[in-house]
């Protein structure tokens, strides 16, 4: 029996027109677009297919767009008979994983995502007014512990590790001036590149505490069921055991680093015996790259287009 692992990307994977091939080919995906538009109050077809490209850079629109693209790819995988035994999502993608694990309904997924994007965007704007320009940057060539030690030895105000992407890539977030100040230290220690990211806030850091409190209150109005398959949380890198634990993790994630390296290691350890297949359900190939950088013996297959999903279906 094949063990299927389905991973969902997060904010940063978006591009104009994503999901259109799924939308045009599948009635079920077209229904998803209707539901997402209804739950968010945003015309998602316009945002993804005909809207101004700048909309996709705004957190409130980005998060809905990525989640919808994730669900479009996931719907096609399900139609091909590919269902998850384990699932995880990177940052925003964790909400998609919750849905795939049976924790939240489609309606809750899109409603929560719309609120998350709005709350995070508004709070990032307010925080920038208080502490200055904010940003995030990927550090290529160094791991979490190395960067953590360097930041402790060269402290900068409002600077945090936001993502543990792989053993040789992390993301810093905080005040842009502090990120700029630590770059020479990182490069001297062996960082090959430091790449600014196109995001609008210092996500997964204590600077988002106000957003987390507001988001936590909103989550109280949604049902969180116990998971039906293994699902991992970014907060600890471990498996969630209950709906109530998922609800807590959903709010904590806004201020906690994304522990993706730990998730990949645990999933691979689960699959030491038997055959497994890993799929990246959503736009881009970011998670497939992180997966390749880890201990996995098989590739993670990007399934972000109708063509790639159809190929996988034929292989099944």
Instruction: Give the model confidence (pLDDT) of 80-108 as tens digits.
Output: 999 999 999 999 999 999 999 999 999 99
Between 66-70, 176-180, 231-235, 293-297, the lowest mean confidence (pLDDT) is in 293-297
Model's pTM, two decimal places? 0.94
CA distance 65 to 254: 19
Q: Are 276 and 3 in contact, with CB atoms under 8 Å apart?
A: yes
Specify whether 204 is catalytic.
yes
Instruction: State the pLDDT at residue 52.
Output: 73
**Catalytic pick among 37, 40, 86, 91:** 91
Closest CA to 89 of 77, 76, 105, 71: 71
Neighbouring-strand partners of residue 161: 172
154 confidence band (pLDDT: 50, 70, 90): very high
Instruction: State the pLDDT at residue 315.
Output: 47
**Catalytic pick among 37, 204, 256, 288:** 204
Rg (alpha carbons) of the chain, rounded to whole number: 19
Q: Are 287 and 92 in contact, with CB atoms under 8 Å apart?
A: no
The domains located in the chain, with CATH, are 3-125+206-315 (3.40.366.10), 130-196 (3.30.70.250)
Burial tier of 228 (Cβ tally within 10 Å: 0-12, 13-18, 19+): exposed
Q: What's the mean pLDDT in 307-316? A: 60
Mean pLDDT of the chain: 93
Instruction: State the pLDDT at residue 311.
Output: 56
CA distance 204 to 255: 4
């Amino acid at each position: 029996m094949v063990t299927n692992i389905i991973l969902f990307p997060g904010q940063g994977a978006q591009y104009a027109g994503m999901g259109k091939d799924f939308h045009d080919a599948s009635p079920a995906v077209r229904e998803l677009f209707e539901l997402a538009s209804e739950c968010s109050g945003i015309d998602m077809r316009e945002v993804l297919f005909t809207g101004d490209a700048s909309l996709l850079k705004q957190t409130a629109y980005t998060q809905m767009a990525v989640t919808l693209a994730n669900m479009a790819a996931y719907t096609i995988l399900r139609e091909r008979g590919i269902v998850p035994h384990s699932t995880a999502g990177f940052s925003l993608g964790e909400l998609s994983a919750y849905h795939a694990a049976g924790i939240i309904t489609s309606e809750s997924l899109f409603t929560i995502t719309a609120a998350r994007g709005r709350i995070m965007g508004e709070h990032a704007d307010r925080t920038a007014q208080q502490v200055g320009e904010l940003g995030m940057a990927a550090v290529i060539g160094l791991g979490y512990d190395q960067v953590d030690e360097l930041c402790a030895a060269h402290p900068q105000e409002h600077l945090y590790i936001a993502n543990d992407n792989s053993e040789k890539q992390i993301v810093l977030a905080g005040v842009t001036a502090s990120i700029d100040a630590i770059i020479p230290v990182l490069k001297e220690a062996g960082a090959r590149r430091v790449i600014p990211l196109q995001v609008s806030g210092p996500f997964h850091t204590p600077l988002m505490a106000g957003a987390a409190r507001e988001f936590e209150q909103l989550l109280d109005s949604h049902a969180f069921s116990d998971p039906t398959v293994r699902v991992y949380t970014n907060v600890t890198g471990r498996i969630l055991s209950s709906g109530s634990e998922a609800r807590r993790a959903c709010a904590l994630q806004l201020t906690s680093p994304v522990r993706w390296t730990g998730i990949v290691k645990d999933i691979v350890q689960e699959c030491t015996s038997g055959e497994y297949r890993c799929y990246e359900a959503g736009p881009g190939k970011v998670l497939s790259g992180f997966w390749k950088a880890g201990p996995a013996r098989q590739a993670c297959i990007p399934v972000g287009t109708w063509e790639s999903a159809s190929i996988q279906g034929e292989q099944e």
